[in-house]
Amino acid sequence: MARGIVIREQHYPGRAPIDAYGNGGFRFADMSHRGSILCLPSGIYGWPQLETDPLSPEAFERVIAERADIEVLLVGTGDGLRPLPRQVRDMLKAAGISADPMSTGAAVRTFNILLAEERAVAAALIAVEG
76-52-16 Cα angle (round to 5): 30
- Residues 67 and 95 sit within 8 Å (Cβ to Cβ): yes
d(CA 126, CA 50): 6
For 74-98, what is the mean pLDDT?
97
> Which domains are seen in the chain, by residue range?
15-125 (3.40.1230.10)
pLDDT at 13: 86
What phi, psi does 31 have (nearest 5°)?
-130, 165
pLDDT at 3: 62
Model pLDDT for residues 18-73, shown as the tens digit of each residue: 999 999 999 999 999 999 999 999 999 999 999 999 999 999 999 999 999 999 99
- Residues 128 and 79 sit within 8 Å (Cβ to Cβ): yes
What letter would DSSP give residue 124? E
Q: CA gyration radius for the chain?
A: 14
